[in-house]
A and B are shown apart, each in its own frame.
Chain A
């Protein structure tokens, strides 16, 4: 592929990525938000984080199967505890990484 092909492709990808990031923010931040919408949106962060995490912890990717024996899930337990007790984002990331690394060598 030539430069122009790449430019065309990335411009297209960039546009369809940018618009969903941009339009709701632009529209909703200049509008008086009704209480039900604020209430509903307050549930979005916990829901998105859960939706992103669930397959990582409980499922294999190809083929897609349920798996309750993943190393990711095992390490998630102490990682949850560390996050719960310390509330430290950086600390949790470091502990999670090290546990995953060390356990991975024995697994």
Chain B
């Protein structure tokens, strides 16, 4: 690795180092993606999708839950248009994450942003936001997080079509990997009473919404509702204490 980069100009080495830092931060995501990707591959294969279709889907879409839904809908004989419409609804939540990331990527050039946007997922968003907030985190490191997760996703989904059925369900508790990761990332976010209140409000809204309304609208609905409540409390507190 070092031998290769020695021949590169100094600025290139700098990017590579920052990319590698991003890869390092990405491994908990990859650990979680692997079993989910395998499972997706198995289901796709059972639904009659060839491995190259799974490869194309993972490269062109790169969004776990909507890929699962796509396979279920294909197996159920749904029309292509209805699958695309469902995908749009399921993935609208990324617009919120994209907006929040913009705060940390001010005035970055549009080509970089266009590449970066491709890799915005629930997981990479949460990992990158914590790093942006707590430490010097460059756009290249953030891109490294996105793209290593992307690579592992592509490899694991395609592998699933071939080897997935030989792996026992739930081995090593790997199904809990992403849940545990979300829990830890949530802890990072609970930095004070306002954030705790926002989390509690969001949890109540999300639970009620999830139980009452079918589909995935609870993610965007509860997130926006809870964030707005937290925002209003923050504003109110500011005006109370007269600090701004």
Q: What is the distance, in angstroms, from A70's C-beta to the closest C-beta of chain B?
A: 11
Interface hits, B141-187 → A, CB 8 Å:
170-177, 179-187
Q: What is the distance, in angstroms, from A96's C-beta to the closest C-beta of chain B?
A: 3
Cα separation A16 to B195 with both chains bound (whole Å): 31
CB–CB B98/A20 < 8 A: yes
CB–CB A97/B176 < 8 A: yes
Q: What is the distance, in angstroms, from B126's C-beta to the closest C-beta of chain A?
A: 6
Cα separation A6 to B49 with both chains bound (whole Å): 10
Q: Which residues of B contact A96 (CB under 8 A)?
A: 173, 176-177, 179-180, 183
Residue from A10, A29, A75, A97 in contact with B113 in the complex, judged by beta carbons closer than 8 Å? A29
Listed stretches B1-9, B13-21, B224-232; interface member: B224-232
Interface hits, B32-74 → A, CB 8 Å:
32, 53, 56-57, 60-63, 66, 70, 74
Question: Digit string of A1-31 for contact with B (CB within 8 Å is 1, else 0)?
Answer: 1000111111111101110111111111110
Q: What is the distance, in angstroms, from B122's C-beta to the closest C-beta of chain A?
A: 6
Main secondary structure of the interface of A (DSSP, over half): helix
Q: Which residue of A lies closest to B57 (CB)?
A: A10
A46 at the interface (CB under 8 A from B): yes
Residue from B83, B100, B102, B203 in contact with A54 in the complex, judged by beta carbons closer than 8 Å? B203
Q: Which residue of B lies closest to A49 (CB)?
A: B186
Closest 8 CB pairs of A and B: A96-B180, A101-B173, A28-B102, A100-B176, A43-B227, A100-B173, A16-B88, A14-B60
Q: What is the distance, in angstroms, from B233's C-beta to the closest C-beta of chain A?
A: 9
Q: Determine which residue in A25, A88, A100 has the highest number of CB atoms from chain B within 10 A of its CB, and name it.
A: A25
A106 at the interface (CB under 8 A from B): no
Q: Which residues of B contact A10 (CB under 8 A)?
A: 53, 56-57, 60-61
Cα separation A27 to B219 with both chains bound (whole Å): 23
Q: Which residues of A contact B108 (CB under 8 A)?
A: 29
Interface bin, chain A:
35 or more
**Apart from A20-B91, A99-B173, 19 more pairs, CB < 8 Å:** A5-B80, A13-B61, A16-B85, A17-B91, A21-B97, A28-B98, A43-B231, A44-B223, A46-B189, A48-B126, A49-B199, A50-B198, A50-B202, A50-B222, A53-B183, A57-B179, A72-B176, A72-B179, A88-B184
Residue from A21, A38, A90 in contact with B95 in the complex, judged by beta carbons closer than 8 Å? A21
Q: Which residues of A contact B99 (CB under 8 A)?
A: 24-25, 28, 41, 44
Q: What is the distance, in angstroms, from A78's C-beta to the closest C-beta of chain B?
A: 10
Q: Determine which residue in A28, A88, A89, A102 has the highest number of CB atoms from chain B within 10 A of its CB, and name it.
A: A89
Question: Digit string of A43-80 for contact with B (CB within 8 Å is 1, else 0)?
Answer: 11111111111111111000011100000100110011
Q: What is the distance, in angstroms, from B102's C-beta to the closest C-beta of chain A?
A: 4
CB–CB A30/B173 < 8 A: no
Q: What is the distance, in angstroms, from A52's C-beta to the closest C-beta of chain B?
A: 6
Q: A30-B107, A72-B176, A89-B28 are in contact. Are A6 and B98 (CB under 8 A)?
A: no
Cα separation A23 to B106 with both chains bound (whole Å): 14
CB–CB B206/A55 < 8 A: yes
CB–CB B190/A23 < 8 A: no
Q: A50-B186, A53-B186 are in contact. Are A45 and B126 (CB under 8 A)?
A: yes
